[in-house]
Structure 1
Amino acid sequence: MKESIDENELQTVTKLVPSKNRATFEEAITATKFGTFNIILMLIVIPAGWSSVFENTTMSYVFPSAECDLDLSLEDKGMLNAIAYIGMMSSGFVWGYLCDSFGRRKLLFIGYFTDALLVMMSSLSQSFTFLIIAKFLGGMVINGPFAALTTYLTEVHCAKYRATVQMILGTVFSIAGVFLPLMANFILPADIHFTLFDSLKIHPWNAFLLFAAFPPLLAGCGFFLLPESPKFLMTNGRNREALEVFKLIYSLNTGKPKDSYPITKLVNEKSANQFESLGLLADVKQSTKQKLADGFDGMKSLFVPPLVQKLVLTCTLQMFYMMSLNTLRLWIPQLFQAINDYEYYNNGTSAPLCTMLEVMKPKGINATKECVVNTNNSQVYMNVMIISATSVVGTMAAGYLINILGKKKMLFIIGIVSASNSYSLYFATNTNITLILSSIYITVTGVGMIIMLSVIVELFPTNLRTMTISLAMTVARFGAMLGNLLFPVLLKTGCAAPFFTMGSIVLSTSFLSLLLPNTDMIALT
């Protein structure tokens, strides 16, 4: 092996390597076309996206079924909704750091496999404490592949498709919201009660959690078979490998041989590429220690101008979107359960939302009413499916509108519409109006959160991209955690507090979004 090359030799080699006739990443990825590879990736994205939704949403459906088995209070439910986000917050920065240092693909398949094991562990819960621990660990793990998934999707599509692909990812999330209540409708009312090994009592909600482990298992298998992000490879001086990935994508998309790929050389995004072109790649490959050191140096640049201003703004916006969306979204099944219970015990009579929500409040310290699970919940699941189906249609429509209006205008309009619907929920006079307002609110706010992810990806350079997404999502999940802990407290103070609080938070996103730079059709750096 050749001796290490010093800085002077590096400059000499740089001069010898011609920069012309070399394709940029944008040119190279555009030349791969759109076809079979992208479709296969979208199919793998389905269980991957569902895994993230299932990890932080299943508890919403478990509450009515497990309320008596685990003796859950209103505050316990808020904690179970929040705990996955606490886990995500604890690991967000670490995952982003590792992903930007070691690659997207490895983090994706390892992360999803690990999450599947932890979901299986949660399905064996026998107490509130064990379930809290399992959900915390699950949240800690799923944060990594979620951030890597968003980045990977961006880095294997050209500028023409990036915003649309993020909308597809949002549609996948929305479809998960349709499938989850459908799964709950079949499993949770079932008569599943047996004991394993003389100590493990299995109830319908345990089986429900077990089925939720299949999406991350399938996602892990899928990403194990996919190549690394070519953008990541180029940024890390591995042009030879990146070119092979481009050829593979091109061949799958067009059905033509790899050798017919029109591009033979790539621009040198890192000095290591200059050695690679002369066959000296082995001399400059980084050690693990050097990768960690470089990753740490890059991380520091996020906290100084000009990136720190963008970081603060995008993190704030994402936090407000996540808080306003996932607080109400995770409490929607419980709210409709309260509506269902009110109508069930009042001969099908509806009432204003605030009147029906009174059944959720504790009846006092001397209450001796026996804990009974109402399994007649088909209407609850149907309402949640309608909301999720509306999100699917709305997200698909947003994929077209975003190309017409642009991201900034979309974000401004979204904040106004979401806030109006949140305020209006307080005045809802019956179940149908509650359903319509909830559907619009969750659909529109969800689209805003997806657009913000796309904006973050386009505002920050490749070597900091996943780290930035992880940091932004960590801050955002703090908002979701805080919202879910506060919601039951606000609900106890009165019906207006939770809806006006969430509405005011999402309204502020309209005006903050005006400060964002225009990122439409921006080329990746």
Structure 2
Amino acid sequence: MSKIKVYNISENVDKHVAENKNREVTPTQDIYNADFETAISATKFGKFNILLFLLVIPAGCTFMLETTTMSYVFPAAHCDLDLSLNDRGFLNAITFTGMISSSFMWGFLCDTLGRKRLMVIGYLLDAVFVIMSSFSQNYTFLLIFKFLGGFIINGHYCFNCLFIGISLLQISFTGSVTWAILPQKIVITLFNNSVVLRPWNLFLLVCAIPSLVSGIIFIFMPESPKFLMTVGRNEEALAVFRTVYALNTGNNKQNFPIQTLLDETKTEGREMQKHGGHITAGRSKTQALREGFQQIKPLCFPPHLKHIILVCCMQSLIMSGANTLRLWLPQIFQAISDYEYYNNGSTASLCDMLEALETSTQSDICYVNFSPTVYVNTIIVASVTIFGFAVVGSLINKLGKKTLLGILAFSGGMCAMSMYFAQNTAVVVVLSSLFLSAGGIAGNVLLTIIIDLFPTSLRVVTISLVLMFGPLASMTGNLVFPLLLSLGCAPPFFTLGCALIVCSFLVMILPNTERKALN
């Protein structure tokens, strides 16, 4: 293969990439055959970056809404839909089931359709399915549309992880919106009373807004220049860079210092050669599928095999605990509220109060007790989690990622077990807040460890594979939780606690990556 000519830079491609990451580009320079890092740095920071961040706020909330809304709906809809505890478990789990069923499809579609088109189609389809779920009149139809919503939203799962802070703020917002809508006594009839919309239907309808707004926004956004360069469409990528540069600096597009871009379709880095994968423009569907398996292949052999098994197990344990309690927490708070309502405001141990949850599904008379404390408690839990993410940034460098992960997993597990012994509502709120905060942060710390643990060429596929185990574990946890509740008060909380404590012991097997050089 002929050498790639680079203006004023060494002919070695890897050295060219490394040098240009920290290279300051001035408007007076003309650079030819620039790589992506050089070109994106030349666009500067400005209006486009700020606008992009504001535009992705609704997109960052969509995934959390898709997986969370049913837990808010259950207290209001269980009478209308005649939901048992197992039905609620299935509705919580079905979104994750949809995500699992489409896991291997989205990476292929990203390469086939491009990032922008996938975002537009995905978010608009998700909005359609959420709207359809809001018109559901029975359990079966709601189950179907929640599955389809999970099937679609999985394409944006990794994207959502970049905006976890926004998603946590969304939980607080959802609690407020739920509080405003669900207690209302609204009944809307359509099509000769064949469709009846109650407050929980309207709440689901409102939850379609972020998906709809996101889909419309991405219609007007440019395609990812990184994707365009990857598939050999450098002229289109350069046009995007020039537009971003003009918006950020206020200068004319023609003043953009990059004249041509590196042809990535003819570049094979050392890592890609080593592992047998490479990027080609205009590749067929068969080629794309084959290259996808080539990227996964190195993970199936030493030294990466034991590490991928370990981190996948840890991800499963963390997500099975955190996502299960997160989705059942509104139901737990509703049971507490019901107990206090029917016992003149008096409180009791959590186990005594949870009997109201079991009784409400077995009674011939179904009742709905709307109490603002259910949603206030949910907002408190989300706020504590947001605060935890803010604090952990200062601790991660002092303690180290591995140590911090072990502390978070162990303390979170102990908090879950301690809920069994909680004697009043305040203690339940505190312990559940600490558990979810520790579990949520632990999951993100694990991802940062994965980045250090695996070489650059395997990081994306590794993170994608690890994230796939999150929905699988979440689905399993939500299916098992109502069964554990039927066995008694101790099994669900001790099971969730043990999941994180086991994870804390697995941390000790992880190699130390704190001082490991980036590959």
Name which of 154, 158, 182 aligns with 1:147.
Answer: 158
Deviation at 1:467, TM superposition (A): 4.7
Deviation at 1:335, TM superposition (A): 0.2
Higher normalized contact order (CA 8 Å, seq sep 6+, divided by chain length)? 1
Superposition pairs of residues 391-430 of structure 1, within 5 angstroms: 391-430=385-424
Partner of 1:3: none
Superposition pairs of residues 325-474 of structure 1, within 5 angstroms: 325-362=322-359, 369-375=364-370, 377-456=371-450, 467-474=461-468
- Match of 1:395, as an amino acid? F
1:452-504 CA-to-partner distances (Å, cap 9, x unmatched) read 34444666677766554443222221111111111111112121111111111
- Match of 1:373, as an amino acid? V
Alignment check: 8 A CA contact 2:230 2:281 kept: no
Partner of 2:99: 88
Partner of 1:499: 493
Partner of 2:513: 518
Partner of 1:219: 214
Secondary structure at 2:316's aligned position in 1? helix
Secondary structure at 2:189's aligned position in 1? strand
Alignment check: 8 A CA contact 1:238 1:273 kept: no
Partner of 2:277: none
Segment drifting more, 94-103 vs 64-73 = 94-103
Cα 1:240–1:309 change in 2 (3 A) is: farther
Deviation at 1:439, TM superposition (A): 1.0
- Match of 1:369, as an amino acid? D
| 1:187 is the counterpart of 2:199 | no
Question: What is the rounded CA distance, in whole Å, between the counterparts of 1:136 and 1:287 in structure 2?
Answer: 30
Secondary structure at 2:102's aligned position in 1? helix
Question: What is the rounded CA distance, in whole Å, between the counterparts of 1:72 and 1:217 in structure 2?
Answer: 29
Partner of 1:74: 85
1:44-88 CA-to-partner distances (Å, cap 9, x unmatched) read 232112111111111111111111111100111111111101111
Deviation at 1:370, TM superposition (A): 1.0
Secondary structure at 2:196's aligned position in 1? strand
Deviation at 1:38, TM superposition (A): 3.0
Deviation at 1:331, TM superposition (A): 0.5
Alignment check: 8 A CA contact 1:87 1:139 kept: yes
Deviation at 1:381, TM superposition (A): 0.6
Superposition pairs of residues 162-311 of structure 1, within 5 angstroms: 166=162, 169-198=163-192, 199-258=194-253, 269-271=264-266, 285-311=282-308
Segment drifting more, 343-352 vs 405-414 = 405-414
| 1:485 is the counterpart of 2:482 | no
Alignment check: 8 A CA contact 1:124 1:202 kept: yes
Cα 1:211–1:520 change in 2 (3 A) is: farther
Partner of 2:272: none
Partner of 1:36: 47
Question: What is the rounded CA distance, in whole Å, between the counterparts of 1:368 and 1:360 in structure 2?
Answer: 11
Secondary structure at 1:374's aligned position in 2? coil
Deviation at 1:437, TM superposition (A): 1.0
Q: Percent identity?
A: 46
Segment drifting more, 307-316 vs 514-523 = 514-523
TM-score by length of 1: 0.83
| 1:138 is the counterpart of 2:113 | no
Cα 1:231–1:284 change in 2 (3 A) is: closer
Alignment check: 8 A CA contact 1:100 1:295 kept: no
In structure 2, runs of 5+ residues without a counterpart are 23-36, 270-279
Segment drifting more, 263-272 vs 346-355 = 263-272
TM-score by length of 2: 0.84
Alignment check: 8 A CA contact 2:452 2:516 kept: no
1:356-396 CA-to-partner distances (Å, cap 9, x unmatched) read 111112489xx653111112x21101110111112222222
Question: What is the rounded CA distance, in whole Å, between the counterparts of 1:309 and 1:390 in structure 2?
Answer: 35
Cα 1:346–1:392 change in 2 (3 A) is: same
Partner of 2:59: 48
Partner of 1:162: none
- Match of 1:331, as an amino acid? W
